[in-house]
A and B are shown apart, each in its own frame.
Chain A
Amino acid sequence: MTGAPLYAQLINLLAAILLLLAFAMLAQRRVLSLVNLFAAQGVALALSTAIVAFATHQPHLYGSALLTVVLKVALLPWLLHRLIRRLDVKWDVEGLINVPTTMLIGIVLVVFAFNLASPISQLASTVTRSTLGIAIASVMLSFLMMITRRKAIPQVIGFLAMENGLFFAATSATYGMPMVVELGIALDILVAMLILGVFFFQIREQFDSLDLKHLERLKE
């Protein structure tokens, strides 16, 4: 990337950080640290969006960067922290099986994501097109995280991280969706989080734990 303008290098750096954070989330056992990693992902996302906005003079992207900060760096982590405190699962440690295998599957997914992204990014005219592969990879890593987790809160953090990846994909391929749609998506995510909060309490009340192994009775 020698000779690339500074902002392009910065965006690539932030994209790399995003991917690294996705891997870190995959391996993180502690619920509390997961929330912090998620918030860090939000920061990286907002920064890269703001840089793209600055580099390409797209004023509406400042709006989405602001939305990211409010929603994903402040509001959602705050809600999650509150939930964790109220549910008293602050020190929960999840016994993850086979972290190395999960990591290897993760690497395969990243390769696949870059393959999937290459025909699309060739067609893109945005300065950020090289990061599309990373965006798809982080969506897939979050998906993998949802599959491997057995507890409710980490699974939900995986869900939210997936949305982060999708948002990043939208900025890298197209400089973001129209504002109405972005606001709608943000509203959905927020409502989803609130509903899940209510839901956690219902699950806890019923089963005395947030372990999803209790939720495996219904078959066929």
Chain B
Amino acid sequence: MIEILAVLGTPLAGAALLALLGERDFAATINVGVSFVTMLAAAALTVRVLVDGPLLVLDRQFFVDSFNVSLTALTAFVGFTTALFSRPYMRIEQAHGRLTAARLRLYHAMYQLFNFTMLLALTTNNMGILWVAMEAATLATVLLVSLYRTPASLEAAWKYFILCGVGIAQALFGTILLYFAAEKLLGAEGGALLWTSLNDVKGQLEPTVLSIAFVFLLVGYGTKVGLAPLHNWLPDAHAEGPTPVSAVLSGLLLNVALYAVVRCKVLVEGSLDSAFARELMMGFGLLSVVIAALLLSRQKDVKRLFAYSSIEHMGIATFAFGMGGPIANFAGLLHMTVHSLTKSAIFFTVGHAAQKAGTQLTDEIRGLVTTNPPLGWGLVLGTLAILGMPPFGVFASEFLILITAMAVQPWATPVLLAALGLAFASVFSKIQPMVFGETTAKRLPVRPTMVPVFVHLALVLMLGLWIPPFLAEWYRQAARLIG
């Protein structure tokens, strides 16, 4: 119990502290410190779950099982490494005159608040609070996306707010329907929105209501996952916001939204006899993969390029959960983890590359390997990893998803393979000249931290070659639970 309180309390207190402290030079360091403590708390929580099994605490309001414990740990970890990356990055932005100290205060407070909302969404057992936390996550990031106050960033933030706001309103209606179906069995007081109680009675929930509810929940949370055709906000928000925000949006928020979808899917699947929920998820997933792959080749902005790549990978994971079964679910969970680590590492390198070149256009960034070898090689390795090259973890998860698809949904395999091939061609042909080639770019005023990039990539490499037994066991348990 104490671990949950620490995991949630640290970022919340950190947000208040950073807002009150104001425009201090050491605010970025405090931001890193708070994120570090959050990570330690999450590690303690992980150990607790490892030793004692699933936790259901505080009047059943919080629930941590094998499914969300790895995501909680991942969120706290990437939250910490991104804070580490953001310290020099935001200093350079300030030196380049794109930000004032007052904006940095807003940035740091909102960063912690955003972490809090994601951790709350992951650990809560209450489907209503899950909704509240997802909406709060949108709100915390709207002002981060518009941090630079440029016309494009304002437009991106407005789109983000309106599209995700409307989307999440659908999810609220879905949650109301879920409550409506459950209230008959569980009574109005308390238990009817708790996921664990719902999971116990899922076989008796009214199928008609649940299938309507699932459509709304999938569309609602799916908007935040970035599933096509509801993905329009995602590339804009990623490209126009500061890079640390792009890294946590892609690496963490999309995962949390997909987590919400999967939690709902477990309930709906238990109530329905048909493959309705699966088919819906497979359809949305595949559509996202195809649309993203087609749009990748037309991107000129490097951050937009990788934002589309996030849509593609979220589509793959959604498709995997849609197929269901122990292997596909295992692969889907692994894919969420490795995508999160790889994509945030890529954004770290891309952010500094864009700072060096003074632009985000792929045509104008050149010669990263010559001017800053760690940065250049980090980007090359990250790109190869995200494109599914062995021996990185993305290869392992995509391979598992493809072989399952061949076995259970053979029609989808050629589509997936073609999309992956197309994505490879589009992304690699754009990144290769950025990394090699000649350049006249200046040195950065503050030395960037490359440690997070290589730590992430090393973890992805490790997950491609060897998955720690306890993690594999969690994934297997979670895969059984998801069904």
Contacts and interface: CB of A to CB of B under 8 A. Distances in A.
A41 B328 CA distance: 48
A174 B156 CA distance: 37
A158 B136 CA distance: 19
Contact of A202 (B146, B177, B184): B146
B176 A170 contact: yes
A195 interface: yes
A89 to B, nearest CB: 17
A173 interface: yes
Interface stretch (A45-53, A62-70, A120-128): A120-128
Interface in B87-138: 126, 128-129, 131-132, 135-136
A188 B299 CA distance: 35
Interface string B241-260: 00000000000000000000
Interface string A33-65: 000000000000000000000000000000000
Contact of A177 (B136, B176, B299): B176
A159 to B, nearest CB: 6
Nearest to B308: A220
B136 A191 contact: yes
A199 B156 contact: no
Given A120-B209, A178-B190, A181-B128, 13 more contacts: A139-B169, A169-B173, A175-B188, A178-B188, A180-B126, A192-B161, A199-B146, A199-B157, A206-B149, A207-B154, A214-B155, A217-B151, A218-B239
A199 B173 contact: no
B241 to A, nearest CB: 12
Contacts of B158: 152, 199, 203, 212, 215
B143 A198 contact: yes
A192 B165 CA distance: 9
A163 B143 CA distance: 22
13 contacts: A120-B209, A123-B208, A124-B180, A159-B165, A170-B179, A173-B180, A177-B179, A185-B132, A192-B161, A195-B139, A199-B146, A202-B149, A215-B159
Interface in B175-206: 175-177, 179-180, 183-184, 188-190, 192-193, 206
Interface in A119-174: 119-120, 123-125, 136, 139, 143, 146, 152, 155, 159, 162-163, 166, 169-170, 173-174
A184 interface: yes
A118 to B, nearest CB: 11
B398 interface: no
Nearest to A214: B151
Contacts of A181: 126, 128-129, 131-132, 193
